[in-house]
Amino acid sequence: MQALIVLSNKLDQSPHNRVYLLDYFQEMFVVYEKIASKLIQAQQAAISEGQFLRDELNVGNDIIALAKLWLNAEKMNRFTGWEAMHKEAFECYSDTEKQVLSECRHKASVLAQQQLEEQEKTLQHFTENN
């Protein structure tokens, strides 16, 4: 984007310079491509999130199906929230269901630890560089 501004300024000074004009439009196209790519990525992420939410609604109250969905989508924060509200429900499930829920708990724990480590690294980086 900075290069586009520089070329624009050069064109202001020499509006009939074909080299500046060509460079300007080439740079404009590069910027357009980058913006379009980011918009497509954002759209794909929104579609994916919408599909996940639709799937989550379609599953309904089947916590095991939800847990499997959360595991596959790596949305362990969903499980953590559910677990916090339904701690007592864990004892009502069969051994197979408890195993799936335990897997969710373990994965949520691992992801939480990874996030904590990333936060500590970020804090350390900013502390050392200031």
- pLDDT tens profile 73-88: 888 888 888 888 887 7
Q: Indicate the average pLDDT of the chain.
A: 86
pTM over 0.85: no
Task: Report, as an integer, the average pLDDT of 97-119.
Answer: 90
**What is the distance between the alpha carbons of residues 18 and 34, in angstroms, rounded to a whole number?**
24
DSSP result, 13-79 = H-TT-HHHHHHHHHHHHHHHHHHHHHHHHHHHHHHHHHHHHHHHHHHTT-HHHHHHHHHHHT-HHHH
Task: Report, as an integer, the average pLDDT of 35-39.
Answer: 96
Q: Cα 122 to the chain's mean position, in Å?
A: 18
pLDDT at residue 130, as a whole number: 67
Task: Report, as an integer, the average pLDDT of 75-102.
Answer: 84
pLDDT at residue 4, as a whole number: 72
Q: Is 86 helix (H, G, I), strand (E, B) or coil?
A: coil
Q: Residue 17 region, left (φ>0) first, then alpha (ψ -120 to 50), else beta?
A: beta
Domain ranges of the chain: 1-59, 61-130
